[in-house]
Chains A and B, each alone.
Chain A
Amino acid sequence: MVSDETHYDGIPHEDLPIDAIEWTEARIEHVRSRSQRYGAREFDVEPEWATEAALDVDRLIAPDLPRCTAVKVIGQSPSAPPRVAGEPGRILKVWLVPKSHPPVGDWWGVSACEANSGDRRRYRRREETP
């Protein structure tokens, strides 16, 4: 099955089924403790927020280049504290790998962080994508 810049296991990224995310205890601890690795300004991610972002109906899906083992999902978590007061939650970036090949909807959560400014800009540009 082809996994490249446009497909994962032969499925176009825009058509990938992503219905449920599971986080192991180790991965939960990892995404929750980003500020311990990168400093107090780094945003610690609760796995529930990452799951919400990955299941956002307006999510963006991108290959995790160069290996394409995982996919990157950029979406909004309404439950996460906003960057700026009044915003509806926070935009996050979440890395996933499928539990089966080809993917049928169930994925492992691998990592997550706050979306960077480029990710946020691209996510908000809804009108340019069908």
Chain B
Amino acid sequence: MNDQELRDLGEDIEAREATTDREMEPAHAVRSRRAPRDPSEVYSLRIPVTRLAEVRRIAASERTTSAALLRRWVLERLDAEGQGDEDEEQAKAVTDALRRAISMIEHRRAS
């Protein structure tokens, strides 16, 4: 559904809501049996207006929304940070193994 279709549907909904008896209980409403897969929590960010213009420009070029772009950037950075921790652990394991190997060689030479 494109932006114009969303706009038309939104106007249609609003026109109907304005004429509906707003005290009536919703017809056919049922309790959801399916919890959201990965519930989100709102976290507000203050971004300078000038930088927000950049975000909007990039989002438009990628045919997405500013909010979706910012969310993706944060999640990508978090994934990268996690990968960084893994790389650090692997580097430490290699360094430790090399130290042990050097120590063994030195020990053999000495004996």
Contacts and interface: CB of A to CB of B under 8 A. Distances in A.
Contacts of A38: 18
Interface in A88-121: 93, 95, 97, 99, 105, 108, 110-111, 113, 116-119, 121
Contacts of A74: 26, 29
Nearest to B38: A19
**B-side interface mostly:** loop
B30 A47 contact: no
Nearest to A25: B65
Interface string B15-30: 0011000111111111
A59 to B, nearest CB: 5
B74 interface: no
Contact of B26 (A26, A30, A62): A62
18 contacts: A13-B30, A18-B32, A19-B36, A26-B7, A52-B41, A55-B40, A60-B31, A61-B29, A63-B28, A65-B28, A74-B29, A97-B1, A108-B1, A110-B10, A117-B22, A118-B22, A119-B25, A130-B33
B109 interface: no
Interface of B: 1, 3, 6-7, 9-10, 12-14, 17-18, 22-42, 44, 56, 65-68
Sort A-B residue pairs by CB-CB distance and give the 10 closest, nearest first: A62-B29, A129-B31, A118-B25, A116-B22, A48-B42, A19-B37, A60-B29, A14-B30, A55-B36, A122-B25
A36 interface: no
Contacts of B3: 24, 26
